[in-house]
Amino acid sequence: MAWGTSHRWPEEEKLALIEYYNRKFTYRQIARKLGKEFTKDMVCGMVFRLRREGRLKDR
């Protein structure tokens, strides 16, 4: 398993991340909103993945 992939992101968490990102929250603020098991690094990694998939635009 690749580093940083131990947490499976359910679709509702991805949608919440997209909503917070579009509302201009910082990665740290998004991690706090999503819950204790999230770090800003995990959020950053998912933002890059969602950008690559075309589900997020650059700010």
In a domain, 43, yes or no: yes
* Model pLDDT for residues 2-45, shown as the tens digit of each residue: 555 556 788 999 999 999 999 999 999 999 999 988 999 999 99
Q: How confident is the model at residue 1 (pLDDT cuts 50, 70, 90)?
A: very low
How buried is 46 (Cβ within 10 angstroms: 0-12 exposed, 13-18 middle, 19+ buried)? buried
Q: Which domain holds residue 37?
A: 28-53
Residue 59 covered by a domain: no
- Domain count within the chain: 1
Of 1 and 48, more confident: 48
Residue 45 inside a domain? The answer is yes
Residues in Cβ contact with 37 at an 8 Å cutoff, skipping those fewer than 6 apart: 7
